[in-house]
Structure 1
Amino acid sequence: MKVLVTGAAGFIGFSVAKKLLERGDDVVGFDVVNDYYDPALKEARLEVLEQTAQHTQGTFTFIRANLADKAIVDQCFKDHQFDRVIHLAAQAGVRYSLENPLAYVESNLIGFTNIIEACRYNKTPHLTYASTSSVYGANTTMPFSEKHGVNHPVQFYAATKRANELMAHSYSHLFGLPTTGLRFFTVYGPWGRPDMAPFKFTKNIIEGKTIQVYNHGNHSRDFTFISDIVEGVIRTSDQIAQPNPNWDSNNPDPSTSYAPFRIFNIGNNNPVKLIDFINAIEQSTGHSAIKELLPLQPGDVQDTLADSTALQNAVGYKPSVSVEDGVQQFVDWYRDFYKA
């Protein structure tokens, strides 16, 4: 197949694109390669994709541009007939959304609109896009289920991703465009983002620097290893969304529809206390962390836990990498990449 992967220089986008190339798909990557975090890491990921394409039957084409530029997005779809679109580009980060909300409007709202419009006019068979567990916001019922209400986000980032889900449903309804949203839980692993806790903790622990531990490490996250995420994303993209024939408007299921629309959680279904995750990094690095214990930050949620049963039933998704193994793989990659 020919697949468009937006955010191809990003952590998840790169990992998905690499896996698609390895199985022989032709991949068009699209990314602005901004400086939200170290562009050198993004460039290194792109080099790996170029190298991977040279040793597989797949091809890799890269478009360095902003998804908010509608003309370039339209030209991309004109030049290529995509069998699938996997839209992973977004302005991420909970705390940054408190500082620069307009960046989220440009990427998560305008960029998403340009992509879904292009899918509509070019009759793309299936759009799979990234949502986030952050949409559950003030919800405290565990585990988080796609059937729960998500109308009370606690930061602007989550609000924009919830907007994507609603926008996708409108296009599925109006134009019959098959769409699937994936609510990612905390993703970590090799080539991970420097702005995320696993990366920052590992870096500072190895360098003997203090780590900031919010909520005294007592909150939990459903840490999910990147290879498990990639497997779920590709399986979901391969299976085109279909209308739910049993959808009942009197008792509506918010995760499906009479239209070709789906939303899935994609997580590990195994919450880990932050302090235990730090302990795993200490074990893998052989260093003890110097901790600065701080209160929970504005916009953070206390706990996350995914109920991924629906995704497992739909595409056979079943995460297999333990936190101990995943942390060790990340630490090994970090030491090799940064010669640490």
Structure 2
Amino acid sequence: MSRPDPAFWSGKRVLLTGHTGFKGSWAAIWLSALGAKVTGLALAPDQAPALFDLAGVGGVVQSRIADLRDQAAVERALKGQSFDLVLHMAAQPIVRTSIEDPVATFAANVLGTAHLLQTLRGQPALQAVLVITSDKVYANNEQGRAFQEGDALGGKDPYSASKAAAEIVTQSFARSFFDKAGVPVATARGGNVIGGGDFSRDRLVADIVRAGKAQGVTVLRHPEATRPWQHVLDCVAGYLVYLERLASDPAAPRALNFGPKPGGAEVTVGELATRATQALGAKPWCHEPDPNSLEAKALGIDASLARQVLGFESRLDAPAAVEWTMDWYRAQADGDEALVLVQDQIKRYESL
């Protein structure tokens, strides 16, 4: 199966937005290890601890702190720089935060994408752009069928709708401007990601780790819900392989799903939480229903097109993803350096 190619990435000038976030920090460290010259563009971390700080990501890449909701700030941050490839990961990623502040979520996820793409129109050496959206971009009728790339977009909560809107914005910029310039612009729809270093609010693994540290109990709103769980390294690997293909093949699809292996067993929130609490030695979780929640109960994505087109599929199933994740948190709690832990898991993943 395909994996990121160091020969391709060595010396490439890469703009990575969202490098201060959880997935962005993993991507920044991996790209740097592959030999890319990475410039990060994002807001400062909005939480403490943050993997960006723990792993010293600001010392691994050229870090630019700016708000993508501000067009002028984006232009100032990128002025005078030239990029070969762009991986746009910056976003407001939490569903419940989008309920609390929908306008800010639309501003970050929709206008932020538009501002970036508008600024990139002036990049003469650009080879490809990949915009990361979400598995939640599809109009979910709760029938449990895994969504394919050609299914209708939608979203009943502001986060999902903002990501679906970002898809449309990206398509419009591609067709109006970038296609004419011969620059492929595409979207990647990733599943629910877990991995070491996620300390975000309202994220399952982060909640379990916090509860375990405090000797408390993790509260689940929807333990029966299904999600397309994948380890952060599987997700980021798919993005990088996709960018490689976009830069070399004008016929590459302009949207791909990335998630668990096609045909794999569905894993509920409760099942994953049970594995995680047991691996961490934490107390069992409890269930407190949220009658006002708009979150989908069933969600699955079909990643078979990525396997067909890219020769790529996830290597870690849900049990392995939980094991790698909890190994990371236990080692970090025991005093191991976060950067070394990330680098070691990257090397281990590359050797699979």
* TM class, shorter-length: 0.7 to 0.9
SS at match of 2:324: helix
Matched, 1:238 2:244: yes
Deviation at 1:205, TM superposition (A): 3.5
Equivalent of residue 205 in structure 1, options 183, 204, 212: 212
| 1:145 counterpart = 2:148 | yes
Gaps of 5+ in 1: 54-59, 245-259
Contact 2:89 2:132 in 1 (8 A): yes
Aligned to 1:248: none
* Paired residues of 1:17 and 1:49 also in contact (CA < 8 A): no
For residues 24 and 338 of structure 1, the distance between their equivalents in structure 2, rounded to whole angstroms, comes to: 29
Matched, 1:333 2:328: yes
CA offset at residue 110 of structure 1? Answer: 2.0
* Distance in 1 separating the partners of 2:54 and 2:70: 25
Q: Give the letter aligned to residue 283 of structure 1.
A: Q
- Kept in 1: contact 2:18–2:40 (CA 8 A): yes
Post-superposition shift, 1:87? Answer: 0.4
2:280 aligns with one of 269, 273, 285: 285
- Bigger shift: residues 168-177 or 16-25: 168-177
1:267 lines up with 2:259 in the alignment? yes
Once the 2 structures are TM-superposed, how far is the Cα of residue 102 of structure 1 from its aligned partner? 2.2
Deviation at residue 295 of structure 1 after TM alignment? 4.5
Query: Match for residue 19 of structure 2?
Result: 8
Superposed CA deviations along residues 222-261 of structure 1, whole A, max 9, x for unmatched, are 11101101110111111227665xxxxxxxxxxxxxxx86
SS at match of 2:218: strand
Size of the aligned set, in residue pairs, is 313
* Aligned position for 1:227: 233
Distance 1:293 1:329, change over 3 A: same
Q: Give 1:39 deviation, angstroms.
A: 5.8
Aligned to 2:42: 31
How far residue 296 of structure 1 moved from its aligned partner, in angstroms, is 6.0
Given that 1:129 and 1:180 are in contact with CA atoms closer than 8 Å, whether structure 2 keeps it comes out as yes
Instruction: Name the residue aligned to 1:80.
Output: 81
1:81 Cα deviation from its structure 2 partner: 1.0
Q: Distance in 2 between matches of 1:312 and 1:293?
A: 38
The structural deviation recorded for 1:339 is: 4.5
1:169 is matched with 171
Query: Normalised by the size of structure 1, how large is the TM-score?
Result: 0.85
- What TM-score comes out, normalization by structure 2 length? 0.82
1:331 is displaced (CA, Å) by: 1.7
Q: Is the Cα–Cα contact under 8 Å of residues 206 and 285 in structure 1 kept in the other structure?
A: no
Unaligned runs of 5+ in 2: 1-11, 336-352
Structure 2 SS opposite 1:95: helix
* 1:181 aligned onto 2:182: no
Deviation at 1:138, TM superposition (A): 2.7
- Measured against aligned partners, the alpha-carbon deviations of 1:276-301 in whole angstroms (never above 9, x if no partner) come to 11221133123331413325652210
Indicate which of 295, 300, 315 corresponds to 1:300. Answer: 295
